[in-house]
Amino acid sequence: MAASRGVRFIITFLLLAVVTSVIGIAAIYSVVSAEPAVVSNSVLVLRVPGGMSERQTNPLLALLLGGGTTVQSVVDSLRKAKVDSRIRGVVLMPVGPQLLWGKAQEIRAAVLDYRESGKPIVAFLEYGGTQEYYLASAADKVFLMPGSPLDLIGVASYEMFVRGALDKVGAQPDMLNAGDFKTAANLYTETTMTPAHREMAESLNRDLYEQVVQGISLSRELAEDEVVRLIDEGPFLPTDALASGLVDGLVYADEIKRQPPFDEFDWHVIPDRDYRGVSLESLGLNQGARIAVIYAVGTINSGSSGIDLTGGEVLGSETLVSALRAARDDDSVRAIVLRIDSPGGSAVASDVIWREVLLAKDEKPVIASMSDLGASGGYYIAMAADSIVAQPATLTGSIGVVAGKIATRGVYEKVGVTVEPVSDGRFAEIYSPVIPFSDDERIKMQEHVDAIYEQFLTKAAEGREMTRDAVHALAQGRVWTGRQAKARGLVDELGGLDRAVAVAKDQSGIGANDEVELVAYPRERSFLDLLSEGFTVTQAAARLGWFPLPLATLEVAAVPLRLFRSGEPLALMSGTLIP
């Protein structure tokens, strides 16, 4: 009897603890998620950190563990501030570079759109690298800290090669590809750039550099030749940056309020972390006809979407197919914008998604919108859309296929380990992780790679209304900037998500000036979803960036080995995973 009462007490205690915890978390969520009070004469202080993702994939988890700013949140804050009569101005604070340039252009365009309100926006740089300054230059004025240099030095990119390390440990990369410019395998097979690789890298870097020069030239009202001359003189001491006309003042953050035009009124600071709590709907935005925005972010793989060990997003074909079907079957959704930020991945999973985009297009307009990346498999899933919109600096194209494996017999031999296979079937050991491909296996693998490449070409030709040979001339794995891709017919228009939405409105018969409600897919998980799914310490640490840089660097080489089976054909862009 006493034992029975003890068991009941323990069970009751545990149930009460669980219920109390749930109620406590729900109460915290309710309090923190309430809209903040915004007083008149407020100035929005908008910090733009580096390495932002497209959107918060788990807002509640971010709320409880410390979520960060996203591209979506920055753009939304500027949209709200543009029409919010309580906001008198914005202080833009870029505090780190984005990994690539498409997101920087997305935010820069939002700054220029905000300026159409006539309300002031100034940029404050604690440190100004090339990309931070490129973003800041879109503001009315640029202020730099008196003790901080302006590192406006141009654009540089780096490629990593691990062949030497593989040789040292006895591992043998055995790779096949379709296309001379399909350089994804070069990470493992080469010690330096091939001629085709260097040609492509130099072309991309030069075009990105020219876009930076042109953007600064327009915003600062300087001749392009003068901007080039100034870049070649960088980095600048603060006083030299001021004398050259690149910045408008040397001040500390607390001194901004004494600079024109903010010295004309007594203003109140509202940090963006608070202003994000103001809903778009409360300001008359995000209302009207509904357009689905489906986020296709991360390395493409079969199965469900998720987050890998170091916090990188994985784009699961099952998750995206479900989102496309939900938007397609929802009669209230007038059009679909497929928001892509992906270097590609599994060729099979890409083809699964492509098919679903094609089916959705039969029901309603589908517009592809590219962020930093819409390359290889990322381009594959876009080419079935009615129109493709990309930023000038988006990296896209990379129409090609790569496959292979890393044979590890030499590694085992170095440590005294022997691996003995037992197999039946002529090609049973084709995916063996121990030995390289035999001649017959290599022929068989190359047939598969070539067949997938031809399928890629054929579908791209149909989607772009080009001939197969015309696409092949632009393909072979070559990566293009969005601006280069548009000039070659691989992209329809240049611009960001707002431009893609405008195209979707036009193709679905919605007035150009009509406000629309953007419905995000995959849908954000609810409070109950999070509790039921849970999360591990590893996932939390990955999302918060608690892993040291060496692990993140090693992760570059490990991604294809971790996500895909040995020998799986990949539509994956090269170099995109290098930090």
DSSP state of 233: H
Q: Nearest Cα to 134, choosing from 151, 147, 116?
A: 151
The answer to whether 364 touches 382, Cβ cutoff 8 Å, is: no
**Greatest CA separation for the chain:** 91
- Three-state SS string over 426-443 comes to CCCCCCCCCCCCCHHHHH
Total Cβ atoms within 10 A of residue 568: 21
Separation CA 416–CA 79 (nearest Å): 63
The runs of H, that is alpha helices, within 391-508 are 409-414, 439-464, 468-474, 482-487, 497-507
Q: Does an H or E element contain 115, and which?
A: helix 102-115
Separation CA 204–CA 484 (nearest Å): 9
Catalytic residue among 73, 77, 376, 387: 376
- Using CB atoms within 10 Å of the CB of residue 204, give its burial: 0 to 12 exposed, 13 to 18 middle, 19+ buried: buried
Separation CA 173–CA 243 (nearest Å): 54
376 is catalytic: yes
Q: Does an H or E element contain 27, and which?
A: helix 2-32
What is the residue type of 138? A
Cβ-based neighbours of 333, under 8 Å, separated by 6 or more: 290, 291, 292, 327, 364, 519
The answer to whether 516 touches 508, Cβ cutoff 8 Å, is: no
What is the residue type of 195? P
Residue 545, phi-psi category: left (phi > 0), alpha (psi -120 to 50), beta (remainder): left
Helices (H) and strands (E) in the chain, counts: 22, 23
Total Cβ atoms within 10 A of residue 354: 22
Separation CA 215–CA 365 (nearest Å): 32
Q: Which residues are catalytic?
A: 376
